[in-house]
Amino acid sequence: MKQIIYTRMMQWKKQWLGIVCWSIIPLLIPICIVLGTSNVQDDAKIPIGIVMEENTSTANDFLDEVKSAPFIRVQQLDKTAALQQLEKHELDSVFIILDGYEEEIMRGNRNQLIEGYHSDLSFAYTPVKEMVVSIVQQDAGRYRAVKVIQDIGERYRVQEQWPVEDMIRKSQTIQKDENLLRSSFTYLGEADSMESGELVSWNVWGLWSIAALLATFFLFDWIIKERTSGVGPRFAFFRMSHRAYLIGNMFIYTIFLGWMNLLTMVVYHYVLHEALSIHLFIVLFTFQLTCIMTAFLLATCFKNAYAYFGLAFAITFMIAVISGAILPIDGITGGLPWLEKWNPVQSVMNGEIHYASFILLAIGIAIWYAGKERLHANS
């Protein structure tokens, strides 16, 4: 073992840049993705068109309120232009404030005051419509209340006149100040509610596990390189078998990558506020071991490093797609529970220790080790 460590250190001395790079990259990629998308998402807005058929103060208030919504970008234009742009899918949807808006609102009537246009490519129509309708509803509701109060005033013969503006303002301040009804969201078994207003929320450990899989594949190219570069045949004359040498080196890499897992946990704890726990470390480390064994077995089958890298990419990409770390996959796994059970990335995302492929791979390594040594002195 001592000799293996010694030779490995000699190798690393020359390749330190690659080693450092590929052990840091899985740590950095998720941070870049998480911070990058949250930046883009802050700026990403849904473009909608608003057509004003009347120019009254109520209608303008409505426009201002729509404009103040954080997730949309409002363009004010005339009807033909708006519909044309919608047809070309340059706008997500178009809302028209119909003539007579103010009059109807003041009467407390809110039916059919606006017209909404959307196309079959309008992905965001439903939430935008929901918001627009809620604003109309709110305005109309206030005038409805005004009417009720005026009725009361009449019935009980109140002497002083209650000005309408006061009533509206009162309702607005109550709504704003008291924030009457809130909803909170938690998952079963979780203590505090996690409130994220973002459309896309990443599973950091899912992203990490995909990057770690790729990086582990890439780190294990030494198996191919050290066999092809004229070292291979010499093993026949060593005290140690080639396999024992490979296993010993795998062990060194495992310890090294285990430390990297620990470092990743600490960095994510401070940068992305992920929780720290021993259980998590075990989850990550078993995943790392799964990656190492996969990379190890795969690399021993290859002679051409470039082809190995290509296949590593293909495998990683496929696992990334079917794991749900990048794409939402609940619709598929519902019908295929085995997919979830056998996918190690999925286990990391769920914070579970992954046994299935781990045991299978360990058996694979054992069979490989017990198999016949192919490198003979005369080969």
Sequence-distant (6+) residues with CB within 8 A of 377 are 233, 236, 237
How is residue 266 written in tokens?
């600490």
Q: Which of 70, 230, 328, 371 binds another protein (CB under 8 A)?
A: 328
How is residue 20 written in tokens?
């450092």
Of 136 and 289, which has the nearer Cβ to another protein?
A: 136
Chain-centre distance for alpha carbon 73: 24
Of 3 and 126, which has the nearer Cβ to another protein?
A: 126
Distance separating alpha carbons of residues 265 and 256, to the nearest angstrom: 15
Size of the site for another protein (CB under 8 A): 92
Three-class secondary structure of residue 196 per DSSP? coil
Q: Among the candidate windows 49-57, 233-241, 290-298, 309-317, which touches another protein by CB under 8 A?
A: 309-317
Q: How near is the Cβ of 191 to another protein at its closest, in Å?
A: 12
Distance separating alpha carbons of residues 213 and 199, to the nearest angstrom: 27
Q: How near is the Cβ of 287 to another protein at its closest, in Å?
A: 20
Q: How near is the Cβ of 362 to another protein at its closest, in Å?
A: 27
Q: Among the candidate windows 79-87, 236-244, 251-259, 284-292, which touches another protein by CB under 8 A?
A: 79-87
Query: What x-and-dash track marks residues 162-181 binding another protein by CB under 8 A?
Result: x----x--xxx-xx--xxxx
**Of the candidates 341, 328, 358, 350, the residue with the CA atom closest to the CA atom of residue 200:** 328
Sequence-distant (6+) residues with CB within 8 A of 129 are 93, 95, 116, 118
Q: How near is the Cβ of 333 to another protein at its closest, in Å?
A: 10
Query: What x-and-dash track marks residues 122-161 binding another protein by CB under 8 A?
Result: -xx----xx-xxx-xxx-xxx-xx--xx--xx--x-x---
Query: Using CB under 8 A, which residues numbered 102 to 121 contact another protein?
Result: 110-121
237 binds another protein (CB under 8 A): no
φ/ψ (deg, to 5) at 56: -105, 170
**Of the candidates 300, 292, 229, the residue with the CA atom closest to the CA atom of residue 260:** 292
Distance separating alpha carbons of residues 240 and 48, to the nearest angstrom: 71
Query: What x-and-dash track marks residues 17-36 binding another protein by CB under 8 A?
Result: -x--xx--x-----------
Query: What x-and-dash track marks residues 178-217 binding another protein by CB under 8 A?
Result: xxxxxxxxxxxxx-----------------------x---
